[in-house]
Amino acid sequence: MNLDLKKAIDTICKDKGLDRSMLIETLEEAVRTSVLRRYGEDIDVEVTYNEDSGDIEVYQFKIVVPDGELENDDTQIEYSEACSHDPSVQIDDEMGFRVKVEDLGRIAAQSAKQVIIQRMRDAEQKLIYDDFKERIGEIVSGTVQRRDKGGWVVNLGRTEALLERGEQIPKEHYKRGDQLQAIIIDVHKEGRGPQVIISRSHRDFMAALFRREVPEVDDGIIQIMGIARDPGSRAKVSVLSRERDVDPVGACVGVRGSRIQNIVQELHGERIDIVVWSSDIATYARNALAPALVTRIVVDEPNNLLEVIVPDDQLTNAIGRKGQNVKLAARLLGWKVDIFTESKYSGGGALGHGLQQVASVAEVSIEALVNAGYTTLDKLRAASDAELGSTLGISDGRIAELRQAINFLAPVVEKAPDPADVEVLRSAREAEDGEAQEGLHGEEGRD
């Protein structure tokens, strides 16, 4: 019994984590390749591993042909010779003859060994690739091994990973032997083996840290809706609770901030704002811009723009240091965000308070006005009735109301019109139209 071979197979499978049947198949194929190289490519051989004896058994097969018709003694055997081995043999039968592996010779044996080693290496690399490919998005721990031209090489145990410069947290410094955690973001197939790419700056790394530290996130009770990071400095994470009695912010922060502190420590002090997600973009924006207080928000959907008005003393908080707060909020929301103070906005913001009132009077959405290019009262006043009717799709009656509202809110003369005059104009128009349409004051009352 070849105990050495059997023991070697068991040891390799255990140490390398290779599948036993795959290893045996590789061994059989390697021996078969060596036999063909030794005796010729034309011969028909079968190689099997005997589990009981631990031996490699090689059989060469030949076809029985009539005496005198032998053409290839590597693949054929004459009938008379075949009968000497098996008296019951018939013409065209296939006979197997055992080949001694020991007879392969030193060169053939070395060749077989090289094939086995290469096949084992390929199998191990495939196993590692498949394993880590399935672990994309998972946090792994490793030891910093050496600096590479593209970053740092980190030893993960079974293989090495690359922490590229762009995936490092700025201002973090590593040295050989340091322990670090990162997330697997990709795995590449390369000639020298699978290349695992890890990251500490990726937003998914923060999401994975939340799943690890907050059970409610891992269980799906709390869902992370979005993450915006300025790695190493600040981040905003929007969350949504799937259960009414679970506070998403409180669960993520933990008792006395224990959960969030674990994440902050892993990220070396990166400040994290927990934002409550909302389907209403204005509400979501208010939450995202915290700690700044927001007076109101004008939503310009066609341009994917939010105009945020804040008290004059809140501008610094809203924008943040070097614009960081508004930048992260905009990235989290997926909208462009413009910040205005109340004094600046009332003095001529892009949309303006007066424009909103005119839109309300004419029953036209503010988005329709902006989309048509009427971003100020002056532009509305300059437009002809035909232009207003064509671009806004409103009736002559609505156009008249719009004109009255413009004159009332932003008269050409310095003196504002008397409200009574406005009422007279409204009543006169209603009488002319013969319709029970509401006037300017009625519309404002409904709003």
pLDDT, position 354:
57
pLDDT level of residue 436 (50, 70, 90 thresholds): very low
Is 269 part of a structural domain of the chain?
Answer: yes
pLDDT level of residue 163 (50, 70, 90 thresholds): very high
| Percent with pLDDT over 90 in the chain | 34
Is 268 part of a structural domain of the chain?
Answer: yes
Q: 311 or 49: which carries more pLDDT confidence?
A: 311
Statement to judge: residues 218 and 265 lie in one domain: yes
For the record, the structure tokens of 69 come out as 């018709």
Q: What is the mean pLDDT of residues 242-260?
A: 93
Is 245 part of a structural domain of the chain?
Answer: yes
Statement to judge: residues 118 and 10 lie in one domain: yes
Statement to judge: residues 170 and 77 lie in one domain: no
Is 165 part of a structural domain of the chain?
Answer: yes
pLDDT, position 412:
46
Q: What is the pLDDT of residues 82-115, one digit of tens each?
A: 899 888 989 999 998 887 766 665 655 566 667 6
Least confident of 160-174, 191-205, 367-381: 367-381
pLDDT, position 105:
55
For the record, the structure tokens of 408 come out as 């009332």
Statement to judge: residues 10 and 90 lie in one domain: yes
Is 295 part of a structural domain of the chain?
Answer: no
pLDDT, position 335:
92
Among 71, 95, 129, identify where a domain stops: 129
Q: What is the mean pLDDT of residues 431-440?
A: 39
pLDDT level of residue 47 (50, 70, 90 thresholds): confident
Among 87, 102, 129, identify where a domain stops: 129
pLDDT, position 361:
62
- State which amino acid sits at residue 219: D
Among 277, 294, 326, identify where a domain stops: 277
Domain hosting residue 166, numbered range: 142-201
Is 346 part of a structural domain of the chain?
Answer: no
Is 303 part of a structural domain of the chain?
Answer: no
Question: β-strands 271-276, 234-241: how paired?
Answer: parallel
For the ranges 213-217, 378-382, 416-420, the one whose mean pLDDT is highest: 213-217
Statement to judge: residues 13 and 106 lie in one domain: yes
What dihedral do alpha carbons 216, 221, 224, 225 form, nearest 10°?
-170
Statement to judge: residues 187 and 211 lie in one domain: no
Q: What is the mean pLDDT of residues 51-80?
A: 86
- Residue 441 above 50 pLDDT? no
Contacts with 173 (C-beta within 8 Å, 6 or more apart), sequence order: none
pLDDT level of residue 35 (50, 70, 90 thresholds): confident
Statement to judge: residues 156 and 239 lie in one domain: no
pLDDT, position 113:
66
pLDDT, position 164:
92
What global pTM score does this model have?
Answer: 0.60
- Residue 66 above 80 pLDDT? yes
- Residue 422 above 50 pLDDT? no
Instruction: Give the CATH number of the domain where residue 264 resides.
Output: 3.30.300.20
- Residue 249 above 90 pLDDT? yes
- Residue 211 above 50 pLDDT? yes
pLDDT, position 302:
87
Q: What is the pLDDT of residues 125-154, one digit of tens each?
A: 888 888 899 999 999 999 999 988 778 999
Distances in whole angstroms, Cα of residue 11 to Cα of each of 4, 16, 177 = 10, 8, 30
Task: Tell me, letter by letter, the H, E, C secondary structure of the chain.
Answer: CCHHHHHHHHHHHHHHCCCHHHHHHHHHHHHHHHHHHHHCCCCEEEEEECCCCCCEEEEEEEEEECCCCCCCCCCEEEHHHHHHHCCCCCCCCEEEEEECHHHHCHHHHHHHHHHHHHHHHHHHHHHHHHHHHHCCCCEEEEEEEEEECCEEEEECCCCEEEEEHHHCCCCCCCCCCCEEEEEEEEEECCCCCCEEEEECCCHHHHHHHHHHHCHHHHCCCEEEEEEEEECCCEEEEEEEECCCCCCHHHHHHCHHHHHHHHHHHHCCCCEEEEEECCCCHHHHHHHHCCCCCCCEEEEECCCCEEEEEECHHHHHHHHCHHHHHHHHHHHHHCCEEEEEEHHHHHCCCCCCHHHHHHHHHCCCCHHHHHHCCCCCHHHHHHCCHHHHHHHHCCCHHHHHHHHHHHHHHCCCCCCCCCHHHHHHHHHHHHHHHCCCCCCHHHHHHHC
Cα gap 429→441, rounded to integer Å: 14
Q: What is the pLDDT of residues 328-383, one digit of tens each?
A: 999 999 999 888 888 776 654 444 555 655 666 667 776 677 778 887 777 888 88
Q: How many domains does the chain have?
A: 4
Statement to judge: residues 83 and 105 lie in one domain: yes
pLDDT level of residue 167 (50, 70, 90 thresholds): very high
Statement to judge: residues 67 and 20 lie in one domain: yes
Q: What is the mean pLDDT of residues 259-269?
A: 94
Cα gap 445→411, rounded to integer Å: 22
Statement to judge: residues 196 and 218 lie in one domain: no
Q: 343 or 296: which carries more pLDDT confidence?
A: 296
User: Under a CB-based contact definition with an 8 Å cutoff, are residues 284 and 333 in contact?
Assistant: yes
pLDDT level of residue 438 (50, 70, 90 thresholds): very low
Instruction: Give the CATH number of the domain where residue 146 resides.
Output: 2.40.50.140
Q: What is the pLDDT of residues 396-416, one digit of tens each?
A: 888 887 787 777 555 543 333
Statement to judge: residues 194 and 216 lie in one domain: no
Instruction: Give the CATH number of the domain where residue 11 resides.
Output: 3.30.1480.10
- Residue 17 above 70 pLDDT? no
Q: What is the mean pLDDT of the chain?
A: 81
Statement to judge: residues 81 and 12 lie in one domain: yes
pLDDT level of residue 432 (50, 70, 90 thresholds): very low
Is 401 part of a structural domain of the chain?
Answer: yes
